[in-house]
Amino acid sequence: MTHPHLLVETNGPVRTITLNNPDRRNAQTPSLWAALAQEAQAVGDDIRVVVLRGTGASFSAGIDTAMFSAEGVPGEERMDQVAAGGSDAVQRAIAAYQEGFTRWAQCPAVVIAQVHGHAIGAGFQLALAADLRVAALDAWFAMRETSLGLVPDLGGTGPLVHLVGYARALEMCATGRPVTGPEAHSIGLVNSIAPAADLAEATESLVDAILFTSPEAVRALKPLLRAAIDNDPAGQAAAERAAQTPLLMGRMAPPV
Ligand code: CAA
C-alpha cells in the first residue's frame, strides 16, 4: 500500500513509517487512516519494532480541518457528506477510520511513536495507538476535539485513561490544553523524553534495547500485557501460563 503522505522504510527487523505532509503539519485524512490500517495489517513476525513519526515541524496536527469545510480535501470524503448519510453511515465511517489506529495493538511488533512538535487531536490519538511513546522536550500533546464540538473517537480514549487516569484524561480532553513533553513524561503518558536534537537517538536506543531481547518472548509479551487491562486475576494467570508454555518448552527442548 502506498499513500502520497506516507513513507515506509524497512531496515532488517525495524520498520519506520513516516507521516510526510509537512506543509499541512502532517494533517490526517480518511485515505491516510486506510493506509495506516493496511500498514498495521502488513506487519509480519519478521518485523520486531515499528516506529511511527512525522516529517517537518509536527508529528501531526490532527485531522485535516479542511474536511469540515465546504470545499473539503481533494480526493477525500467530506464530513458534511458523511453526516448527511445518517447515523448508521456515520458509525460505519468512524469504524473504518478507527482501524488506522486500533490495528496497531494487534500487530506483532512493538510500536513506538516518536513525537516531536505537535500531536493534536488525531495526532495525539495516533501516538496513543502505539505501544510506547518517546517525545521531544518541546513536543506538546493536545486533545482539541471538544473545541470543534466533538469527542476523541479514533481509539484514543481507552489508552489515554489507562495511561494517565480518568481525571487527568477528562481534564485534558475537556480543556484541550497543551501537555508538554516533561509533563507528559511525569504523568506516564510518554515513556521517555529527550531534547529535540537527540530524539531520533533516544528512539534508536529504545529500539536497540528491544532488539536485544528474545523475539519470541517479546511477541508473546505484547498481547499478554494488553490482555491484563481487561482480564480478571484468574484470567490473566491463565494467559500467563498459555504464553509461557510454548516458550518454556522451546527453551528446555533437548538439542537435536
Ligand atoms: N489541517 C490542515 N492544515 C493544517 C492543520 C490541520 N489540522 N494544521 C496546520 N495546518 C496547516 C496550516 O493551515 C498552515 O497552512 P498554510 O501554510 O497553507 O497557511 C500550515 O499547516 C502551517 O500551520 P501554522 O502556520 O498554523 O503553523 P504553526 O506552527 O504556527 O502552528 C499548529 C501549528 C499549532 C499545529 C496549528 O497549525 C494548529 O493549531 N493547527 C490546527 C490543529 C487542530 O485543531 N487539529 C484538529 C484537532 S481535532 C482532531 O484531529 C480529531 C477529530 O476527529 C476532530
Q: CATH number, domain at 24?
A: 3.90.226.10
Contact 231, 239 (CB under 8 A): yes
d(CA 3, CA 196): 27
Contact 191, 132 (CB under 8 A): yes
* CB-neighbour burial class of residue 13 (10 A; exposed 0-12, middle 13-18, buried 19+): middle
User: Does residue 91 surpass a pLDDT of 90?
Assistant: yes
- Residue 24 Cα to ligand 1 middle (Å): 6
Q: Which residue lies with its CA nearest to atom 49 of ligand 1? A: 121
- Residue 190 Cα to ligand 1 middle (Å): 23
Residue 39, CB-side half-sphere exposure with 13 Å CA sphere = 26
Mutating to test ligand 1, I would choose from 24, 25, 128 the residue with most ligand atoms within 8 A of its C-beta, which is: 25
Q: Determine whether the shortest distance from the Cβ of 82 to ligand 1 is under 6 A.
A: no
For residue 130, give the nearest of 222, 30, 34, 224 by alpha carbon.
222
| Residues 221, 200 share a domain | no
Question: What's the sign of the alpha-carbon dihedral 212, 217, 219, 223?
Answer: negative
Please give the residue range of the domain that contains residue 16.
Answer: 6-211
Q: Determine whether the shortest distance from the Cβ of 122 to ligand 1 is under 6 A.
A: yes
User: Does residue 1 surpass a pLDDT of 80?
Assistant: no
- Residue 92 Cα to ligand 1 middle (Å): 26
> What is residue 256's predicted lDDT score, i.e. its pLDDT?
74
| Residues 127, 11 share a domain | yes
Assess if residue 84 is contained within a domain.
yes
Question: What's the sign of the alpha-carbon dihedral 245, 247, 253, 256?
Answer: positive
Contact 78, 66 (CB under 8 A): no
Q: Determine whether the shortest distance from the Cβ of 226 to ligand 1 is under 6 A.
A: no
d(CA 133, CA 191): 5
| Residues 234, 199 share a domain | no
- Residue 25 Cα to ligand 1 middle (Å): 6
Q: What is the DSSP pairing of strand 140-142 with strand 179-180?
A: antiparallel
Average pLDDT over residues 149-155: 98
Assess if residue 1 is contained within a domain.
no
Ligand 1 atom at shortest distance from the alpha carbon of 57: 29
d(CA 188, CA 186): 6
Q: Which residue has the cell 516529517?
A: 55
- Residue 28 Cα to ligand 1 middle (Å): 10
d(CA 24, CA 141): 17
Q: Determine whether the shortest distance from the Cβ of 121 to ligand 1 is under 6 A.
A: yes
> What is residue 255's predicted lDDT score, i.e. its pLDDT?
80
Overall domain count for the chain: 2
Question: Residue 31 — pLDDT band, cuts 50, 70, 90?
Answer: very high
| Residues 149, 87 share a domain | yes
| Residues 222, 196 share a domain | no
| Residues 232, 147 share a domain | no
Share of the chain above pLDDT 90, in %: 95
> What is residue 254's predicted lDDT score, i.e. its pLDDT?
84
Assess if residue 81 is contained within a domain.
yes
